[in-house]
Amino acid sequence: MTDQIQLIAPDDWHVHLRDGEMLTQVVAHTARMFRRAIVMPNLRPPVVTVEAAKAYRERIVAACGPSSAFTPLMTAYLTDDIAPDEIERGFLEGVFTAAKLYPANATTNSAAGVTNLRHIHSVLLAMERIGMPLLIHGEVTDVDVDVFDREAVFIERSLKSIRERYPDLKVVLEHITTEQAVDFVGSADRNLAATITPHHLHINRNAMFAGGLRSDFFCLPVAKRERHRLALRRAAMSGDKRFFLGTDSAPHARPGKETSCGCAGIFNAPHALESYALAFSQDNKLDRLEAFASLHGPAFYGLPVNEGVVTLQREDELVPDVVNGLVPFHAGETLPWRLQPCT
C-alpha cells in the first residue's frame, strides 16, 4: 500500500471563487493546493470586459496575500451582444485565458448568458482564429427536456454543430456528468477536452435524496445514474489526455442552500485533491492521478507544466461539518489522505 504520493503541482481548470466577503473566505482553500485555476466569470454583474477581468484578478490576488504563488486565470462571460474585438483584445493582452459559454438560465448567475448560438457566431470565429479556448456549460434549458437528460441533449443539439462549424476552435466541455459526454469527448481527434469534478466521481443522483432532500449534493449539471458515475471514473483514470481536473467548487451561503429554491453548487475546495486521491486509490489508479491533475490541462491550454510538487500523505483527516460558514463536500467524513503544503 502506498503511504505517500508526490504530484507535480496541480491546477484547477474550473472553479468559482465568487467575490467580496465570500472570495476572502474561499480562495485560500484553492490556493493552498493548486498553482493556477481557471476562474469562472458568473459574478453579479458578470465579467464581460477586459477591465472588469483585470479588476477581478486584482481582488483575487489581494485576497490570497503577498506570499501566495497562486495565479488566477481569467475568463470572459459570453453574452448575446459581446463584442468580438473585446474578447480578442483581452486574450491577446493576456487578460482572458478563455471565454465561458453559459446557455441563458442554465445555472447560477447565467441569466445574461447566450440565448442562441447564432448571436455569438462572430465571436466564435474570432476565438477560432486566435486560438482562444471556449469553455461550455453543456446543458439545454428547455423546460420540456428532463433535467437528467439536458447534457446529452446539448451534445446532440449544440455541441456537435459547434464542432462542425468551428473545427479549429478549442473547446472544453465543463464538469461532464454523463456516459454520452465521455464517449463524445473520447471520440474527438483534436481540440476537444472535458473537466471532471471530484463530487461526480463519488456521488450519483441518489445522494440528493438520501434520508431526505440533501441540498448540499445539489449541483448543475446534477449528478446522474450510477452508470454515468462509473463512466466518469473510467475517463478520469484512463490516462486519456482529453480529460483533466476541474473541481467546479461552487460555494453558497447557508441561506442560499437551505431555502425554498436552493442554489446549485457543491463547495469542495477545502479537500478537493484529497477527494480525487480517494477516488483514484479506490480504483487502484493512483499512478494516473498526476497526469489527470497536473499534466493534461496545461497540455490542452498550451501552458507550461508547473514547477514544484505537492505531497499527499496516507493519514486520516476528518472533514469538518462547516468551513468558514460553508458546508464542504465530504462534511463529517474521514478521508484517508492529507495534503501537505506545496513546495
Cβ–Cβ under 8 Å, residues 89 and 46: no
Tell me if the bond preceding 221 is cis, omega within 30° of 0.
Answer: yes
Known active-site residue 12: no
Contacts for 119-124: CB closer than 8 Å, 24+ residues apart: 119/80, 119/81, 120/78, 120/80, 120/82, 122/84, 123/78, 123/82, 123/84, 123/87, 123/99, 124/162, 124/165, 124/166, 124/169
Annotated catalytic residue, options 248, 283, 287, 316? 248
Q: Which of 159, 183, 160 is nearest to 242 (CA)?
A: 183
What residues are paired with 311 via a beta bridge?
6, 340
Torsion, Cα 122 91 197 337, to 10 degrees, reads 170
Cβ–Cβ under 8 Å, residues 98 and 134: yes
CA angle 101, 120, 194 (to 5 degrees): 30
Q: Which of 277, 310, 343, 272 is nearest to 2 (CA)?
A: 277
Catalytic residue positions, numbered: 248
